[in-house]
Structure 1
C-alpha cells in the first residue's frame, strides 16, 4: 500500500509519522518527499492492510502538521519510471544512457534487441564489447557538446549516432560530465527517415488534400469545430482519413502542444482495451507489473485521446467512458482510487451508431455525449472530381519514397481510377498508386500497372458502358431498371403504377427494349 501525507514542512515530522507504523509493527519499505515546498510525504508500506490503515488513519491525522492522509496508486518515482518507460518504448530507434566509464545505465527495448540481450540485462554492459575501436567516454570529454551523425559500425550494421552529454550540475564544465544519451539511426534507412520527416512537415489541416469541393467543405467545417473544447465524433468509411482529421483538429485546438494518443477499439479483448485506456494498479492481476501501468488517458493528460472504431467498444468500457465524459473521473483496473483528468475525447466510427443504439449494442446516453460535435467524412467515390490532383500527389510522394523518376498518369489510367468504386477509399488509392509507381519501368503509368481488385460494394453504375452519348447511357440504365422490375410487376399497367408514369410510356419503353411478351 502507498500513502500520501499532505503536511507541514517541519523538522521531525517524518520521524513522527514513521514512529506510529513502527509501534504498530508495520515496515516502511520506501519513502519520498515531494510537493513544491517539500510538503508532501509518500510512504510505501507493502504489508499494511486496509483494516490497519482504518485504525491508524485517525491517529496519523492528529500528528501536528499533518493535514490529510490518503491512498495513492504510485509513488512519484514509480510514476516517472512508468512515463519514461512508455516514452522509450514508443521510440523506434535504439536509445541508451551511458556513464563516463562506458557502461550502459539504461536502454529501450529496441537497443536490447540490437545488442542481443533482454532489456533488463542491458544495464551494466560495457560498450567496449560492441565498439572496441571507439572510446565513447573520451569522445564525450573531448567534445563536451552534442555530436550528431557520428558513423558507427555495430555488428554487421552501420549506424549514425547522436550523442547528447549529461551533466551532474547546472554548468557545462567537463568535470560535471556524468555520461551521455546515445541515439542510433540505421544508415541504410536515412532516406526513409527523410521521407517521413518531409511527410510530417505539413501538419494539421494542411496535410489533408482538399482537391474535391466536398473535401474542402469538410475541412472548413472541421476547422470551426477544432478549437471547441467538446467531444467530437468523426463518421466515415474505412480508409477515409478519420485519424488524420482527428490529429488536425487536435493541432488546431488550444491543446495542440499537449499529447495526442490513439486507441483502436476494434479487435482488442475487453480486458486489454480497459488496461490500455485506463491503466492498472500495482498487483491488479496475475502477471501485472509490480509498479502498475499508466493508461493512455493519464499519458494524454491535458491533450486529446482518439478512440477509433468506438462502436466496437464493449458495454463495460462504454460505462467507464461515459463516466469519464460526465465528470472526468475513472479508476484504474484493480484500484479504488479516483483519478480525475482533463482530456478531450475525439471518436471515430464507420458504423451507424443510432442503429447500434436501437439494437441495444451501444448506449444511447454515451452516443449523445460523444455526438456533441460531429463531422461526416465523404467516401472517395463521392469526391472523384478531384481524383486526378489527388492521384498526382500520391504518385509524387511514392516516387520520392522509392527514389525513382516521377512518372505521369496516362489518360486511360486516369479513366480507370475515375470509374473504380474504391471500397478502401483514400488509403486504397495511395497503396494502389505506390504499387503502380514501383511496377512502372517507363515514364507513364498505364492501366496495366493499376492492381484494382473487384471487392467491396459496387455502385449502381457497375457494368454499364459509359462510352457513347448521355442518351445511350441513360437508355442502358432504363433498360436495366425495367428488366429488374418487370418480373415483380409483369404488366405495363402494374409497372407504370409502380414507377409513377403513364401506362403508354411504360408500354412503349418495354417494346423498345424488347422486355416481356406483351406491352399493352
Structure 2
C-alpha cells in the first residue's frame, strides 16, 4: 500500500510518522518527499492492510503538522518511471543511455529489437560487442558536446547517431561526464523522416486539403466544434482522414498544448485494450509489471484521447468508458482505487452506430454520450470535383520524399483518377500517387503508372447525389461514364465510336466536364 501525507515541512515530522508504523509493527519499505515546499511525504508499506490503515489513520492525522492522509496508486518516482517508459516505448528509433565505460544503462524496445535481445536484457551490455571499431566513451570525452549524424554500422545496417552527453554536475566540464544518450536513425529512412517533418510544417486545419466544396463544408463545421469541450463523434469510411480531423480539432481547442493520444479499438483483445486505455495496478495479474502501468487516459490528462473504431469496443469496455464520460472516474485493472481525470474524448467509426445499437452490439446510452457533437467525413468518390489539386498536392509530397523532380499528371492519368471509385479513399489516393511517382522515370505520369485494383467496385447509383434536378444527376452520370472510358479510348473519335455518337459531341462533352485536354 502507498500513502500520501499532506503535512507541514518541519524538522522531525517524518520521524513522528514512521514511529507510528514501527510501534504498530508495520515495515516502511520506501519513502519519498515531494511537493513544491517539501510538504508532501509518500510512504510505501507493502504489508499494510486496509483494516490496519483504518485503525492508524486517526492516529496519524493527530500528529502535529499532518493535515491529511490518503492512499495513492503510485509513488512519484514510480510515476516518472512509467511515464518515461511509455515515452521511450512510443519511439520507433532505438534509444540507449550509456555510461562512461560504454555499457548500456537503459534502452527502449526498439533498441532491444535492433540488438536482438529482450529489452530487460539490454542493461549491462557493452557497445564494444556491437561497435568494435568505435570507442564511444572516448568520442564523448573528446567532443563533450552534442554530436549529430555520426555515421556508423551496427548489425549489418547503417545508422546516423545523435549523441547527447550527460553530466553529473551543473557545469559541463569533462570531469562531470556521466555518460550519454544515443539515438539511432536508419540511414535508408532519413528521406522518410524528412518527409514526415515536412508534413508537420502545417498543423491542424491548415494541414487538411479542402479543394472539394463538400469537404470544405465539413471542415467549417469542425472549426466551430473544435473549441467546444464536449465529446465528438467522427463518422466516415476507412481512409477518409478521421484521425487527422480529430488532431486538428484538438489543436484548435483550449487543450491544444496538452497531449493527444490515440487508440485503435479494432483488432485488440479485450484485456489488452482495457490495460492500454485504463492501465493496471502493481501485480494486477500474472506477468504484469511489479510497478504497474499507466493507461493512455492518465498519460493524456488535460488533453484529448482519440478512440478509433469505437464500434469495435467490447461490452465491458463500453461500460467503463460510459462511466468515465459520466463522472471522469475509472479504476485501473486490478485496483480498487478511483482515479479522476479531465480528458476530452473524440471517437471515430466507419460503422452505423444507431444500427449497432438496434442490434444490441453497442450501448445506446454510450452512443448518446459520444454523439454530443458529430461530424461525417465524405468519401473521396463524392469529392472528385477536387481531385486534381488534391492529386497534385500528394504528388508534390511524394516527389519530396523520394527526392525526385516533381512530375505532372497526363490528361489520361487524371481522367483515370477521376473515374475510379476509391474504396480506400484519400489514403489510397496518396499511396497510389506515391507508387506512380516511384515508377515514373520521366516528367509525366501516364495512366499506366497508376496501379488501381478492381476491388470494392461500386454498384448501381452508389455515390451519386440524387438531391438535385434530373439534368444535374444525368450530367454526373455522363461525367463518370466518360471519365471511366476515356483512358481505354483516349480520343474523341475512338470514344465517339465506342458510344455511338459523333466525335464532335464527345469532344464537347469532354471539354465541358474537364476530362481531357485539347487534342
TM range (shorter): 0.7 to 0.9
**CA displacement 1:290-333 (0-9 Å, x = unmatched):** 11110000111111110111122222222221222222221111
* Contact 1:277–1:295 (Cα < 8 Å) also in 2: yes
- How many residues of Structure 1 are paired with residues of Structure 2 in the alignment? 472
- Are the aligned partners of 2:236 and 2:379 in contact in 1 as well (CA < 8 Å)? yes
SS of the counterpart of 2:205?
A: helix
- Change in Cα spacing, 1:160 to 1:453, as seen in structure 2 (3 Å) is closer
Give matches, 1:335-354, under 5 Å.
Answer: 335-354=335-354
Relative to structure 1, the CA distance from residue 20 to residue 189 in structure 2 (aligned partners, 3 Å threshold; closer, same or farther) is same
Aligned equivalent of 2:166: 166
CA separation of 1:437/1:23 partners in 2, compared to 1, >3 Å: closer, same or farther?
same
SS of residue matched to 1:418 = helix
Pair 1:378–1:335, CA change in 2 (3 A): same
Deviation string 1:310-360 (CA, Å, 9 cap, x unpaired) is 122222222221222222221111111111111111111112222223333
The question of whether the paired residues in 2 share the 8 Å contact of 1:231 and 1:344 is answered with yes
Q: CA RMSD in A?
A: 2.6
Give the match's secondary structure for 2:200.
Answer: helix
Stretch of structure 1 that moved more, 58-67 or 333-342? 58-67
Rounded Cα–Cα distance in structure 1 between residues aligned with 2:79 and 2:91:
19
Contact 2:96 2:182 survives alignment (8 Å): yes
C-alpha displacement of 1:204: 1.3
> Is residue 232 from structure 1 mapped to residue 237 from structure 2 by the alignment?
no
Which residue number corresponds to residue 107 of structure 1?
107
TM-score (norm 2): 0.85
2:436 and 2:172 map into 1 onto residues whose CA distance is: 53
User: Is the Cα contact below 8 Å between 1:421 and 1:459 reproduced in 2?
Assistant: no
Question: Which residue of structure 2 lines up, in the alignment, with residue 120 of structure 1?
Answer: 120
| Partner in structure 1 of residue 269 of structure 2 | 269
Scaled by the length of structure 1, the TM-score of the pair is 0.85
The answer to whether the 8 Å contact 1:281/1:292 transfers is: yes
Q: CA deviation at 1:288?
A: 1.2
Q: Determine the C-alpha separation between the residues in 2 that align with 1:61 and 1:457.
A: 71
Q: C-alpha displacement at 1:139, in angstroms?
A: 2.8
- TM superposition shift of 1:222: 1.2
Per-residue CA distance 1:73-97 (angstroms, 9 max, x = gap): 1111111111111111111111111
Any unmatched runs of 5+ in structure 1?
465-469, 479-520
Q: Which residue of 1 aligns with 2:188?
A: 188
2:314 matched to which residue of 1? 314
1:116-515 aligned at under 5 Å gives the runs 116-456=116-456, 458-460=458-460
- Maintained 8 Å contact 2:60/2:66: yes
Q: Which residue of 1 aligns with 2:467?
A: none
Structure 2's unaligned 5+ residue stretches are 465-469, 479-519
Aligned to 1:494: none
Could you tell me how far 1:474 is from its partner in structure 2?
5.6
Is the Cα–Cα contact under 8 Å of residues 191 and 402 in structure 2 kept in the other structure? no
Structure 1's 269 and 133: CA in aligned 2 closer, same or farther, altered over 3 A? closer
CA deviation after TM superposition for structure 1 residue 405, in Å: 4.1
User: Whole-Å Cα distance in 1 between the matches of residues 188 and 237 of structure 2?
Assistant: 37
Alpha-carbon distance, 1:20 to partner: 2.5
